[in-house]
Amino acid sequence: MPRVNRTGVLTLLIISSCVFLLFQLYYYRKYVSKPGPHILSRTGHLTASDVQWQTLKKLLALAQRFRLPLFLVDTAALTLLSQDALQQRDRMVRQPPCSFLCTGRPVTSFALHVNSWKYDSAFLSAAEQKGFELLEMRGEDPRLASLDTLSGEEIPLRFLFRLHGYIIQVVFLYERSGNYLWHGALRLHANMDRSFAPFKLLDYGQHAGAYDRPELVLTVLDGLDIRIPRNISRFLSEQRNARFLECRYRDARNFLQLYPEDSSPEAVDFRRKVKTLLHLTARILAHLGIPFWLSSGTCLGWFRQCGIISYSHDVDIGIFIVDYRSDIITAFRDAGMSLKHKFGKVEDSLELSFLSDDVKLDIFFFYEDGDVMWNGGTQAKSGRKFKYIFPRFSLCWAELLELKVRVPCETPDYIRANYGNTWSIPVRNWDWKSSPSNVQENGVWPLSEWAELIQVY
Ligand SMILES: *[C@@H]1O[C@H](CO)[C@@H](O)[C@H](O)[C@H]1NC(C)=O
């Protein structure tokens, strides 16, 4: 091959490499290296997302200066992020300048873990100097409420910062004695400026909520340093089911004035054992990923007297049959509880009882049927079946004996179904086959199946 040709090819190669390198540099500068939105769009006007981004940047800078441990809890932004994690490939393609934080909604929500921040009004003054308008919303402190003292004390529940029509919400998370985080519901007071924010659009406003302490990571989102929950999909699913019901301390106090709590050593001992049993049960079922709620007498005790009915002798919980797992019995046995009886089968009226430290734990499995839910009962000696019918319910968090535990959100309906309208009057001689308002006869198990369906230990 002639020498000229080889030099020619080499030159061509070098030139094309240079052109490609320049193109890459140009591309990088234009599309990748600029965090956040361009300050001015091509027409010279600020777009809505530019304004939102700058507002966020301003407040986050202040939060950093005053050491507010904020983390992102905005459901719209976190949903975008979790979808993005599923579609990593698309990430480079759809990357407008403010793609996660500018959700198209006029609100962005952060949470503040109050225990790691000392209230500092200098932060609020600094925010006002930067042009933010502030609405601080307060509410009663539930941590001080108990059967002995009713709290009148108010604590801050959220800050709303407003600038250029954008709202940044900071939700306060408080530590509660059941080792979980709590935030209050949004309540508008009469003298409050109702046009300050689109209150109906605010996440975390409608109900109080309870959360496990989330693990956080620091990341860069749209060019801003932001802490987010490490497992976003877990946080979002927790958020959807976070509604928290406070115990009705005032009513419970009135009840206990009429019917004072049994303070005999036996009753005190029973309540201590129930506490241990409930905490253990919660641990076992959490490990299996099975949600449960307080049912029957245990639910009534929480609702009526914020405690345990000491003459009830057992603990009752409910589990949806769709959450049943075959390793549930093994898990309870491994934790030191003995199986006392097993009635019914997964398809019909399943019920398990365990014994721990002479306290019985009854687990009732609930079946959905149209607009009702029901659980079964079995009489061991006769094989008779019973059915207890409840209006449909969803699950909320509550606190009992320093444990974060679920109860039916529609607690009054649930209690009334089970105990009738006189639920507030104690009944000591309760018969599970005839006393409940919602019990129905449901036939008899066939004799040939008794060995399988009626197991007593
Ligand atoms: C996130 O949480 C979900 C639900 O709790 C779990 O299934 C998943 O494995 C978790 N992901 C990571 C990466 O830990």
What the block records as the tokens of 246 is 């406070």
Report yes or no: 77 and 101 within 8 Å, Cβ to Cβ. Answer: yes
Domains 48-240 and 249-456 share a fold: yes
CA 447 to chain centre: 45
Task: Indicate which atom in ligand 1 lies nearest the CA of residue 289.
Answer: 5
The structure's pTM equals 0.86
Burial class (CB in 10 A: 0-12, 13-18, 19+), 149: exposed
Residue nearest to atom 2 of ligand 1 (CA): 234
Residue to probe by mutation, ligand 1, list 233, 238, 239, 290, most atoms within 8 Å of CB: 233
CA of 177 to the centre of ligand 1 (A): 26
Give the Cα separation of 203 and 75 in Å (integer).
7
Class in CATH terms, 48-240: alpha beta
Question: Would you tell me the crossing angle of helices 411-419 and 296-305 to the nearest 10 degrees?
Answer: 120
Q: What is the DSSP letter of 199?
A: G
CA-nearest residue for atom 5, ligand 1, is 234
Cβ 234 under 6 angstroms from ligand 1: yes
Q: CA-to-CA distance for 77 and 169, rounded, in angstroms?
A: 13
Does the C-beta of 231 come closer than 6 Å to ligand 1? yes
Distance 350 CA to ligand 1 centre (A): 30
Tokens of 313: 């002798």
- In the chain, the amino acid numbered 274 is V
Distance CA 367, CA 418 (A): 16
Q: Which residue has the tokens 């687990």?
A: 363
Distance of alpha carbon 242 from alpha carbon 237, whole angstroms: 9
Q: What is the pLDDT tens value at each position of the chain, 457 positions in all? A: 455 577 777 787 777 775 766 666 565 554 444 444 444 444 556 788 888 899 999 999 999 999 999 999 999 999 999 887 655 544 444 345 788 898 889 999 999 999 888 888 999 999 999 999 999 999 988 887 776 776 678 899 999 999 999 999 999 999 999 899 999 999 888 888 888 999 988 999 999 999 999 999 999 999 999 999 999 999 999 999 999 999 999 999 999 999 999 999 999 999 999 999 999 999 999 999 999 999 999 999 999 999 999 998 899 999 999 999 999 999 999 999 999 999 999 999 999 999 999 999 999 999 999 999 999 999 999 999 999 999 999 999 999 999 999 999 999 999 999 999 999 999 988 888 888 989 999 999 999 999 999 999 9
Residues 6+ apart with CB under 8 A from 107: 74, 166, 167, 168, 169, 197, 198, 201, 202, 203
C-alpha 363/C-alpha 351 separation (Å) is: 6
Cα distances from 376 to residues 401, 405, 437, in angstroms, run 28, 23, 14
- As given in the structure block, the two tokens for residue 365 are 């499995």
For residue 435, count other CB atoms closer than 10 A to its CB. 13
Q: Are 97 and 49 in contact (CB under 8 A)?
A: yes
The residue nearest atom 10 of ligand 1, judged by CA position, is 231
- Other Cβ atoms closer than 10 A to 152: 9
CB 59 within 8 A of CB 161: yes
Scan for tokens 């019995």, then name that residue. 329
H or E element that contains 318? strand 314-320
Q: What is the dihedral of CA 367, 368, 369, 375, to 10 degrees?
A: 30
Q: What's residue 85's pLDDT?
A: 62
Between the CA of 284 and the centroid of ligand 1 the distance, in Å, is 19
- Tell me which DSSP letter residue 322 carries: G
**What is the rounded radius of gyration, in angstroms, for the C-alpha atoms of the chain?**
30
**If DSSP codes are grouped into helix, strand and coil, which group holds residue 71?**
strand
- Is the CB of residue 233 below 6 angstroms from any atom belonging to ligand 1? yes
> How much distance in Å is there from the Cα of 224 to the middle of ligand 1?
25
DSSP 342-362: EEEETTEEEEEEEEETTEEEE
For the chain, the straight-line distance linking the first and the last C-alpha, in angstroms and rounded, comes to 95
HSE toward the beta carbon, residue 167, CA cutoff 13 A: 22
∠ CA 295-296-302, rounded to 5°: 70
Domain coordinates in residue numbering, the chain: 48-240, 249-456
CATH no. for 249-456: 3.30.460
From the list 100, 58, 59, 96, the residue with the least C-alpha distance to 83 is: 100
Look up residue 214 and give its two tokens.
Answer: 């989330």
* 20-40: b (≥16 Cβ within 10 Å) or e: eeeeeeeeeeeeeeeebbeee
Task: Yes or no: say if 112 and 171 are a contact pair by the CB < 8 Å rule.
Answer: yes
